Amino acid sequence: MTSPHVPSVPIDAVPAEFDAAESGLGTALLLDVREDDEWRLGHAPGAIHIPMVDVPARIDELDYDAEIYVICRQGGRSLDVVRYLNQVGFEAVQVTGGMVAWQQTGRPLAGDGDEPKIY
């Protein structure tokens, strides 16, 4: 899910590592806005987890100087969060295809189970 009014990038444009991530352009954060149960099933290593409904209350956990990649399951929630973050002064982009595309492209997953699954 995308919108012509929301900056978006495909999975292959997202930095591969987010452990105190330093992209070639400066600090980058991957913000996962899915619900707790979705997060436990599998998430990108190094991602920050703030469910969509909690983003306004937890905004101080984000860095205004970072490029923020916002991801959800398939793209709907991340669109809304990117709109909000950009309105309040962040530089945020939506990751098209979400965690489903992340997993399909073979990107690493972490989770609470033996074998993380997003599908």
- The CB-side HSE value for 66 (13 A sphere, CA atoms) comes to 21
72 in active site: yes
Look up tokens 């983003």; give the residue: 55
From the candidates 50, 52, 68, 72, give the one annotated as an active-site residue: 72
Write the DSSP string, 16-77: S--TT-EETTEEEEEEE-S-HHHHHH-B-TT-EE--GGGTGGGGGGS-TTSEEEEE-SSSHH
Question: Which residues form the catalytic set?
Answer: 72
